[in-house]
Amino acid sequence: MSDRQLPELSPLTTSFARAAITRRTALTGLAGLAATGLLAACGSPGRNQSAAPAASQAPSTAADLSDSEKLVNWSNWPQYIDLDEEGGGRPSVEAFTKQTGIKVNYNEDYNDNDEFFAKVRPLLEAGQDTGRDVWVSTDWMVARLARLGYLLPLDMVNIPNLGNLEPSLKDVPFDPGRKYSLPWQSGFVGIAYNPKATGGRKVTTMDQLLHDPALKGKVTLLTELRDTVGLVLIEQGKNLATVTAEDFTAAIAVIQAAKEAGQIKGFTGNEYTKPLASGDTAACAAWTGDVVQLRADNPELGYTLPEPGFSMFSDNLVIPAMAQHKKNAETLINYYYDPSVMALVAAYVNYVSPVVGVKEVLVKQDPDIANNELIFPSAETLSRAQVFRSLTAEEETSFNREFQALVTG
């Protein structure tokens, strides 16, 4: 069983990574993948993935003020876009305003899918403007928002760069035909470890993570249901596309036993990064973008994409009901689907870009970024990735009850 290590980072990659603080605190999700190496149907190893995405009611629509108000209000996860380290600005955002005349009110106030949903839901239920024209939600949350009638369908006439979307992402289970969403970034879920805390040993399997006595009390798992349980299910030989309630309960029991044995010291969001870097945590379930960034300061940290398979996540641009500047939001989305623009983002955040042509741009600017397997994965890597199937509303409630009892019990 091979240990999938991160490639060495170039100076440019390192300069980006040192400043990048991952926005992953409580999300995750992505897609089933074709053996051809292309990203396939976007699903999600994340939080509470909803069932059928068909809207339960027609979304509320406000008069579009885009022509008279050159403005777009955008909510995104913290540090999930390119940043000018010296000046503190966001180069791609500033270039958009210069190019289009549209001012962007960019807010890093999307810290957690459920938290954000709780904040905007009362307004959406009342048919009121949320004060936002576009935001970035994980795929399972996109399904929920669409099912509830809280999203506006995208007018693809205003997004001609849609042709640059990775072909295998054009039709996804949580949003068939991409009626309501377009992907922003994606990434992997694997196992990270600090060799100094593991006695120099590599950690390549969930079995090691959950049962190796040398790691006892120095292991953390993620608070993201599909990320943590998904890794266990895959190692048990289960396919995340066909997981049953019995499969899920059996995987929970394995984790519960490890917890009761003292193997697991806790469940975390992205706060696992500092203990991992210091060695207080020996090994943990981890997101790729975090590890790329951590290795900028500590290149000895190891990272494994388990041989049997692993999960991916994606976050997606959506336009909420009652948005006041819909066409401006679509103009913004179109802008970021230009490969030369998305290359700025990909180089900074170190996640997987959904835009065709970004790698070719970065090959010229920094080959090490373009050749990083975790940013531009190979066909072989993608062929091992899996996605948790869509859950019904009842399953969502049941699965979350079981998982929360594990995490908090």
**Model pLDDT, residue 57:** 65
CA 95 to chain centre: 25
Helix (H) or strand (E) holding 292: helix 288-294
- Which structural domains are found in the chain, ordered by start? 11-28+189-312+389-408 (3.40.190.10), 42-186+313-367 (3.40.190.10)
Flag whether pLDDT at 192 surpasses 80: yes
- Give the pLDDT band of residue 393 (cuts 50, 70, 90): confident
- Residue 222 tokens read as 């993620």
Flag whether pLDDT at 40 surpasses 60: no
Q: Please give the backbone phi and psi of residue 75, each rounded to the nearest 5 degrees, phi first.
A: -105, 130
Q: What is the pTM of this model?
A: 0.78
130-167 pLDDT, tens digit each: 999 999 998 888 988 998 999 999 999 999 999 999 98
Q: What percent of the chain is predicted at pLDDT more than 70?
A: 86
CA distance 136 to 77: 7
- Residue 49 tokens read as 């993935």
**Model pLDDT, residue 88:** 85
Q: Which residues of 118-132 are buried (b: 16+ CB within 10 A; e: fewer)?
A: eebeebbeeeebbeb
Which of 22-31, 288-297, 302-311 has the highest mean predicted lDDT (pLDDT)? 302-311
**Model pLDDT, residue 3:** 35
- Judge whether 332 and 104 are in contact, CB under 8 Å: yes
Strands 264-268 vs 219-222: parallel, antiparallel or unpaired: parallel
More confident residue, 81 or 383: 81
- In the numeric block, the tokens 């996804």 are attached to 172
3-state secondary structure of 311: strand
Flag whether pLDDT at 360 surpasses 90: yes
The pLDDT mean for the chain works out to 85
CA distance 224 to 214: 25
Candidates 363, 361, 359; CA nearest to 376 is: 359
Flag whether pLDDT at 224 surpasses 70: yes
- Judge whether 396 and 114 are in contact, CB under 8 Å: no
Candidates 332, 339, 241, 352; CA nearest to 287 is: 352
Flag whether pLDDT at 51 surpasses 90: no
**Model pLDDT, residue 112:** 81
3-state secondary structure of 356: coil
More confident residue, 1 or 332: 332
- Judge whether 78 and 23 are in contact, CB under 8 Å: yes
